Amino acid sequence: MKILGSPGSPFVRKVRVIAAEKGIEVEYVVDRPSLPGSRVAQLNPLGKIPVLLLDDGDTIYDSAVIGEYLEGLKPEPRLVPQDFAGRIAVKRFEALGDGLAEVAVTVSHDLGPMTDPERRAAWMPRQHDKLQRTLDAYADCIAGRNWLHGDVFGLADICAGYALCYLDQVLPSVDWRSPRAQLASYAERLEARPSFRSTVPQSA
């Protein structure tokens, strides 16, 4: 199997961390969709990364779907609970992490409204409000706990970790650590895991 995507993508890192935590061997192929010769658009009609290319030539795309596939491919160690309530709780944390990464991508790449000055002036504060609310939600959820869901590391923590790391990478001016000491300590524990250390992007 191969994961195709660019080094700077938070969603590529997310699925690479999942594969590493599951102990699944996946070859990482650097493929930047914006450059000539990219295979991404041939493999995913949306032209988005990551793309998981299976050994039989089939493809899976969207980081959440790829994560679901990897979880089913090798159930242990389990990253998502089997029970319905637990699964939904973890999937909600996945949505929170993915959403945080999406806002960071939008702000760092300056993807807001460009032609209407009034709309643009109102747009940036809304994005920063989203960041702060999400960071506060994470801080509240990790307070007094080692992990976000249950007593074990899982997908919820992977999604928090990759999103927080990406926020540091692309928006270093956002000081989220100082007012949220426990969340900062939690992020440091995640970053120390082999799966995170081995997937640090070398270049964007």
Instruction: Give tens-digit pLDDT for 36-80.
Output: 999 999 999 999 999 999 999 999 999 999 999 999 999 999 999
Query: Does pLDDT of 131 surpass 70?
Result: yes
Which domains are present in the chain?
2-73 (3.40.30.10), 84-193 (1.20.1050.10)
Residue 66 near residue 15, CB atoms below 8 Å: yes
Q: Calculate the average pLDDT of the chain.
A: 95
Question: Which one-letter DSSP state was computed for residue 99?
Answer: H
Name the strand (E) or helix (H) holding 53: strand 51-53
List, for residues 92-111, the tens digit of each pLDDT value: 999 999 999 999 999 988 76
Which residue is it, tokens 């939690």? 186
Amino acid residing at 149: H
* pLDDT classification of 203: cutoffs 50, 70, 90: low
Burial 52-77 (b: 16+ CB within 10 A, else e): bbeeeeebbbbbbebbbbbbeeeeee
Task: Respond yes or no on whether the N-terminal peptide bond of residue 7 is cis (omega within 30° of 0).
Answer: no
State whether the Cα torsion 123-95-138-7 is positive or negative: negative
* pLDDT classification of 113: cutoffs 50, 70, 90: low
Apex CA 64: angle with CA 108 and CA 160, to 5°? Answer: 55
- Say what the pLDDT of residue 202 is: 79
d(CA 18, CA 77): 11
Residue 30 near residue 7, CB atoms below 8 Å: yes
* pLDDT classification of 122: cutoffs 50, 70, 90: confident
